[in-house]
Amino acid sequence: MSLRDRLVARIRAAGPITLAEYMRDCLTDPDFGYYVTRDPLGRGGDFVTAPEISQMFGELIGLALAQSWLDQGAPAPFTLAEPGPGRGTLMADILRATRRVPGFPDAARLHLVEVSPALRSSQAQTLSEHAPTWVDSLSALPDGPLWLVANEFFDALPVRQFVRGHTGWSERLVAETDGELVQGFGAEVAQPALAGRLEDTKPGDVVELCPEAPTLMAEIATRIARHGGAALVIDYGGWRSLGDTVQAVRAHKRADILADPGSADLTAHVDFEALARAARAAGAAVTRMTPQGVFLERLGITDRARMLAQVDPKVAAAHRRLTHPEEMGNLFKVMGIHPPEASPVPGLAT
Ligand code: SAH
């Protein structure tokens, strides 16, 4: 049995499912989920992320987090956490860059939030010296000071999608016809969760809602507001969701999201406004959403690239890829979370 067969049987028995339910199964089903069954990153994988492009990304983020830790009086111990750590590359670069920050390595208790057994074992190899603790969800992180980085984590969470009509919203669904998965739409009804979107949308517009994002952000922001710490959320997206941004990627190419469920990466743009609102509601301060290119330039990526270029000629291309507005520099955004009484993470401003 394949995930497609199982979904078809389920839809036949109980009716169409939401796009979010579909994405959830495709990505993290314990038997067939895309992330659960493979390592999608790097050579021979489906997509490449910033830390896999260059060590500079993690080094600069490590130093920014360590500076934030020093600014808040170097609390010890503290939780150093990453949800969705992929192959552990970003965290390895963070830990290497901060090795000589006095007190930081000894005070850090490394926690990784990961659903994928395949990626957990890859993280275990990369980070073996740092004795990581794995947890299944952000709610299982210890209560206490927390420094956290999430790169391309929130874009992997399922979204619901709604098309505005004249009297309400129709939800995009996944249905089945003759054993094939097809796109469907629910009846047009009022959506209280989208009440705030009536003024800035018109009939025909598409809006996405990530049901898990605010809850997960609240887990992070509550700890930071109460015990100190900071978080960096780095992802592709923008301020306030508008339009269909759900995409499937297989072998570095766009694919049909309904074809061969579980075999392609499915993502949606991150709605930073929704994250900011959840963080503020939990009592934390939120920085301005800043383009990744601007953030990395402020942290000194040009100097670092010049230094590395003496030993690695490929570094100029990586620098461009991470920061140029036509590459990742503008599409990817960075937002910081910190306690209201503390200063923002370097490179960001409120
Ligand atoms: N941050 C890494 C990997 C990004 S890919 C990098 O920048 O290279 C997304 C990561 O999130 C993977 O590690 C995936 O297994 C994990 N993931 C996806 N959905 C998750 C969920 N619901 N809970 C925890 N981890 C999840």
Q: Is the separation of the CB atoms in 94 and 58 below 8 Å?
A: yes
Among protein residues, the one with the nearest Cα to ligand 1's atom 19 is 156
Q: Which atom of ligand 1 is nearest to the CA of 82?
A: 1
Q: Which atom of ligand 1 is nearest to the CA of 152?
A: 4
Distance 39 CA to ligand 1 centre (A): 10
Cα–Cα dist 8/17, whole Å: 10
Q: Helix, strand or coil for residue 233? A: strand
Q: Which residue has the tokens 């130093």?
A: 63
Q: Which atom of ligand 1 is nearest to the CA of 89?
A: 8
pLDDT digits (tens, 9 = 90+) for 75-115: 999 999 999 999 999 999 999 999 999 999 999 999 999 99
Confidence of residue 41 (pLDDT cuts 50, 70, 90): confident
pLDDT of residue 44: 76
pLDDT digits (tens, 9 = 90+) for 205-257: 999 999 999 999 999 999 999 999 999 999 999 999 899 999 999 988 999 99
pLDDT digits (tens, 9 = 90+) for 46-72: 889 999 999 999 999 999 999 999 999
C-alpha distances in Å from residue 225, one per residue of 83, 150, 283: 19, 18, 6
CA 76 to chain centre: 27
Residues touching ligand 1 (Cβ under 6 Å) are 27-28, 35, 41, 49, 51-52, 83-86, 90, 113-116, 119, 151-153, 156
pLDDT digits (tens, 9 = 90+) for 140-189: 999 999 999 999 999 999 999 999 999 999 999 999 999 999 999 999 99
Q: What percentage of the chain exceeds 70 in pLDDT? A: 99
pLDDT digits (tens, 9 = 90+) for 275-321: 999 999 999 999 999 999 999 999 999 999 999 999 998 999 999 99
Confidence of residue 43 (pLDDT cuts 50, 70, 90): low
pLDDT of residue 241: 86
Q: Ligand 1 pocket test: which of 27, 115, 157, 216 has the largest number of ligand atoms within 8 Å of its C-beta?
A: 115
Cα–Cα dist 48/310, whole Å: 25
Confidence of residue 194 (pLDDT cuts 50, 70, 90): very high
Q: Ligand 1 pocket test: which of 153, 232, 265 has the largest number of ligand atoms within 8 Å of its C-beta?
A: 153
Dig out the tokens for 30 from the structure.
Answer: 């314990």
Dig out the tokens for 161 from the structure.
Answer: 């999608």
Is residue 42 pLDDT above 90, yes or no?
A: no
- For 239-290, the DSSP string reads SS--S---EEEETTEEE-TTSSTTSSEEE--EEHHHHHHHHHHTT-EEPPPE
Q: Helix, strand or coil for residue 148? A: strand
Cα–Cα dist 312/319, whole Å: 12
Helix (H) / strand (E) element for 237: namely strand 229-238
Distance 157 CA to ligand 1 centre (A): 9
pLDDT of residue 38: 86
